[in-house]
Amino acid sequence: MIKVGIIGGTGYTGVELLRLLASHPQCEVVTITSRAEAGKPVSALFPSLRGHFDLCFETPDAANLKQCDLVFFATPNGIAMTQVPDLLAAGVRVIDLAADFRIKDQATWEHWYGMQHACPELLEEAVYGLPEINRQAVKQARLVANPGCYPTAVGLGFLPLVEAGLIELDTLIADTKSGVSGAGRKASVGQLMGEVGESFKAYAIPGHRHQPEIRQTLSLAADQPVGLTFVPHLLPMIRGIEATLYARLNNKDVGDLQALFEERYLDEPFVDVMPEGSHPETRSVRGANHCRIAVHRPMDGEMLVISSVIDNLVKGAAGQAVQSMNLMFGLPETTGLEQVALLP
């Protein structure tokens, strides 16, 4: 049985981890931390977990994290990097669901996150936890950087084309949309129902923190730099990401693109290439650890359009983290992650 600790268990990714781990047959959550809610039963804050967890929240100082086999950080950016070295030294493996270890270049990370990195010596060691490209490395990892939600949807959508060298790499466009849970579980006027309901807007057009993360993934796959225009949008829904991706072919004679995607993801348990002509819906992945993808070539032209959907809290966060945990401990990758999407 894997003994698990969760640091920062009161946000949406924290409760999503608990929801998934509650039915995981090889996992026991032994501690969960929160400074603000210390002493309060988990089920008091999250009634959906009543009968599944008898734990109370503990302060990080009181929690015996070194008893754990694995610790998940479901904390804001900048927290994990201050605690990870001590945990690794004690033999505890770590999965960080924030961004502290996603970007390899220290200067780039510090520019986008506005703080000095506390342990840059671990940036190179940290394995980017997208199993579809780093499965073998995740299996051996002590420290996994769980990918961002937008980077997961965008990366998986572009990846087959980039790996095959079929598209121009300097003009990629990612037009993405997310539900409000992507902003986290905090009080904010901009996230009130009266502010986001019946409305739709783009944000962070001048630059978003996920852009360098996406470019890093695609550049490594292409073995050369890529250019990317990335525009996120906020939708008046709770869960889900839809990424509409645009790429220009570098040669009109590219063969069967549907077959290319199907072959690339043939053995991937959580990537579903939809039938030709499909338009994936976010509700088809709600609550499930799946990415559904469709590839289109409108009017047989030079521009390709790829649609990629995920649940930002599952494949975009907690589910992908559990997927990596399974790999790290030699379990079948799908263990505890076979939930069917919620409909309606």
Catalytic amino acids? 149
* Residue 61 identity (one-letter amino acid): D
Residues 6+ apart with CB under 8 A from 258: 273, 276, 295
d(CA 80, CA 67): 18
The residue type of 229 is: T
**Contacting residues for 281 by C-beta, under 8 A, at least 6 apart:** 309
What is the C-alpha end-to-end distance of the chain, expressed in Å?
35
The single-letter DSSP state of residue 56 is B
Q: How many angstroms separate the CA atoms of 243 and 306, rounded?
A: 8
Pairs from 335-340 (Cβ < 8 Å, separation ≥ 24): 335/24, 335/25, 335/26, 336/20, 336/21, 336/23, 336/24, 336/25, 336/26, 336/27, 337/20, 337/270, 337/289, 339/20, 339/287, 339/288, 339/289, 340/288
